[in-house]
Amino acid sequence: MNAAPALALAVAVVLALLPGSVPLPLSRVLGALAGQASTGDMLIVWQIRLPCTLAAAIVGGALGMSGAALPGLLRNPRAEPGILLVSATAALFATFGLYFGYVTAGPFVLPLAAAAGALLAAIVVALTALRTRSVVTLILIGVGLSSFSAAGMALLMNLAPNPFSLADMVNWMLGTIENGSVDDLVFAAPFLIAGGTILLLARRGLAALALGEEAAEGLGLDLARQRLAVIVGAGLATGGAMALAGAIGFVGIIAPHLVRPLVRYDPSRLLVPSAFLGALILVLADVGVRILPTDAELKLGVVASLIGAPIFVWIAGRRRLA
């Protein structure tokens, strides 16, 4: 099951290096990847397009895996990182940094703010999960705090001191990787690796939870530990993703839903294929950003939503999500 999405992703990554302001034929791209090309081609491929394409793949993979883990934990087919405060708090911290101008202190201030916000949210929700046995209570707390974070972002944007600060906030909220670099990938890597590893280690517990919490406890599953692992793992992965690309929607919802029937609805087998498909979706969205004929370049989050929203409506209509 994992081979087909992995192969499709590898092909998409290579093809994504072709279009741009300076289109390159496949032969020149392959030559640059092999280190046998002109200096200009090497610069375009290795310094500009490949970091952005890898960033799109990594962000999509992190969101896809997080979106695959949370429905199994919360028993809610529409659960994704936003439902547990993670995305909203990461966005609030990033907006806060933009509002007060802290981002001018260095290139890593903005991604660090987003990652810190996601990590704080994961800690808050994890502590809540340890104190309550009710999944409904956990969801309601996440939704309430997410709404508060959204209100905080709206307030900061409403009080933006100048049009430039407001433009920076909007630009980040729309999601973009247009200035992605190898340094950005290195910065986000610890969060993404840690989050993905935790989720993979917790995948067997998700299979037990599919039988219900009482049955899972009867099989020896520690519910508090399972919740803690999934929430922290999803929080770290989502924080790393948002540090790279800003706010990206729908990938964490549609990738798991498209994969789920192919793994016979087994939550323990869902994470890796969802990560591959999420990566593929966002790489294709990044290609769309570069090839759509618009006067101003579209943002990745906008194109991802344009792709994801109709697919989600189609899924909801066919499967009657409750």
Which segment, 13-17, 103-107, 144-148, is predicted with the most confidence on average?
A: 13-17
Residue 295 has pLDDT above 60, yes or no: yes
Angle at 191 between CA 190 and CA 197, to 5 degrees: 85
Average pLDDT over the chain, rounded to whole? 83
- Between CA 243 and CA 59 the distance in angstroms is 9
Tokens of 50: 């490949």
Q: Is 157:169 a contact under the CB 8 Å cutoff? A: yes
Mean pLDDT of 200-209: 85
Each residue of 93-135: pLDDT tens digit? 888 888 888 877 877 787 788 878 877 877 777 777 667 766 6
Mean pLDDT of 71-82: 63
Sign, CA dihedral 4-6-11-12, equals positive
pLDDT value for 42: 93
Q: What share of the chain in percent tops pLDDT 90?
A: 22
At 322, is the pLDDT very low, low, confident or very high (cuts 50, 70, 90)? Answer: very low
| Residue 80 phi, psi dihedral angles, 5° rounding | -150, 175
Angle at 207 between CA 204 and CA 213, to 5 degrees: 110
Higher local confidence (pLDDT), 214 or 300: 300
Class of the CATH domain delimited by 3-13+51-319: mainly alpha
Higher local confidence (pLDDT), 12 or 174: 12
Q: Which amino acid is at 5?
A: P
Residue 321 has pLDDT above 50, yes or no: no
Mean pLDDT of 147-153: 86
Q: Which residues contact 243 (CB under 8 A, 6 or more apart)?
A: 90, 110, 111, 112, 114, 115, 118, 184, 187, 188, 191
Tokens of 218: 């009867």
Residue 31 has pLDDT above 50, yes or no: yes
- Between CA 66 and CA 214 the distance in angstroms is 24
Q: What share of the chain in percent tops pLDDT 70?
A: 91
